[in-house]
A = this chain, B = another copy of it.
Amino acid sequence: MDRYCIGVDLGGTKIATVLSDLQGRIISADRRPTNAAAGTAKVLEQIFTSIRQVMRGVDPEGILGIGVVSPGPVDREKGIIVDAPNLGWENIPIGKIIQEQFQTPCALENDATAAALGEWVFGAGRNLNDLIYITVSTGIGGGIICNGQILHGRDGAAGEIGHMVVDVTGPPCNCGKKGCLEAISSGTAIAAAARRLVGAGRDSSLIIKSQNNPDLITAQLVAEAAAEGDPLAVAVLEHAIHFLGIGVANLIQIFNPELIIIGGGVSKIGKPLFDGVWQVVAANTFAHTVKDLLIVTPELGDNSGTIGAAAVAIQNFAARGRA
């Protein structure tokens, strides 16, 4: 009998689900917008439907487990999503709920940590012991593999790379602090910085690009304008990339990893971002720690989350086998 795992990437805007074989290959996939406004029961129903969708035509006996990943803190032991502001969820025992529904073990993980796991097991980090996955998107998150293990910390809250303070004089962060990496280098922060400058009357091609509506300025528009040489966009992007480089350099000094993976929407800026990060990293680390270091995009691309979720299920299955 063929054996599979299911991975569910539960976000505030979309639910993405895959059926994966034990080598991390996607057999079938489903994706639907999260109807968070309709309430918890409705979202749970959406998750059930999405899981049923990817299971169609497969013998349920062959499903070894389900992995669910979501942003923010999860209690892996108890299978509880502790806090998912985008869903308006607090302390939802989703592990137990899914387990009851499908009569299959369900394991939980933070989404960035799961993406790191996915890349470690099936992607760019295969056979390595020390790697860091950074997702630069609306926020900045991280997953860390060190000593050949996932770093969870005392209660699963490790890896909050986005809330490392890199500039004490920096802008306020959603978390209430000031100068967090996320407040400077995330997509949201890049768009906000450009909006502030345009709003203050500075000239930029972003004014036309946003149809004279600063609210429409996104990180992607800033990257486009920067690529065309718009000075304001170039300055905004360089500032964000500089501090991203400082954050990466700090992680290198602390972890001495073999590999850094930078994913998430903002990483799609590509070469200018990776070149800029490298330049700052080279100037802010000891030479021997970056000699053989690689900084790459995720090998699993946009599937890091779902394949990571499937990897969580596979790892949970393996751990049960050992227990």
Q: Please tell me which stretch of A197-205, A252-260, A265-273, A300-308 contacts chain B, meaning at least 4 of its Cβ atoms lie within 8 angstroms of it.
A: A252-260
Tell me the bound Cα distance from A161 to B250 in angstroms.
8
Chain A interface secondary structure, helix, strand, loop or mixed? loop
Residues of B within 8 A of A243 (CB): 168
Cα distance, A249 to B167, chains bound together (Å): 13
Count class of interface residues, chain A = 35 or more
In the bound complex, do residue B160 and residue A246 qualify as a contact, i.e. CB atoms below 8 Å apart? no
B254–A158 touching, CB < 8 Å: yes
B255:A177 contact, CB within 8 angstroms? no
Judge whether A155 is part of the interface by a CB distance below 8 angstroms.
yes
Pair A157/B73 contact, Cβ less than 8 Å = no
Complex contacts, A153 vs chain B, CB 8 Å: 130, 146, 255-257, 289
User: Contact between A166 and B163 (Cβ–Cβ < 8 Å)?
Assistant: no
Confirm or deny: A288 has a beta carbon within 8 angstroms of a beta carbon on chain B.
yes
Q: Is the CB of A156 within 8 A of B250?
A: no
User: Cβ of A221 < 8 Å from any Cβ of B?
Assistant: no
A284: interface (CB < 8 Å): yes
Closest residue on chain B to residue A256 by CB atoms = B153
Of the residues B163, B164, B168, B289, contact of A167 by C-beta under 8 Å: B168
Cβ-defined partner of A154 (8 Å) among B246, B258, B284, B286: B258
Known contacts: A149-B147, A149-B149, A256-B152. The answer to whether A250 contacts B164 by CB under 8 A is yes
* One of B151, B164, B288 near A73 (C-beta < 8 A): B288
The 8 Å CB contact of A151, one of B146, B159, B164, B289, is B146
Q: Which of B146, B158, B169, B292 contacts A256 (CB 8 A)?
A: B158
Question: What are 13 A-B contacts defined by CB distance under 8 Å?
Answer: A144-B254, A147-B152, A153-B256, A157-B256, A157-B286, A163-B286, A164-B250, A164-B254, A165-B246, A168-B246, A169-B169, A177-B284, A250-B250
Which 10 A-B residue pairs are closest in the complex by CB-CB distance?
A: A153-B256, A158-B256, A160-B253, A157-B256, A164-B250, A154-B258, A163-B253, A147-B149, A157-B289, A154-B256
In the complex, besides A156-B256, A160-B256, A250-B250, 20 extra interface pairs with C-beta distance below 8 angstroms are A130-B154, A130-B158, A146-B147, A147-B149, A147-B151, A149-B149, A151-B255, A153-B257, A154-B289, A157-B256, A160-B286, A160-B289, A163-B253, A164-B253, A165-B166, A165-B246, A167-B168, A168-B243, A177-B284, A254-B254
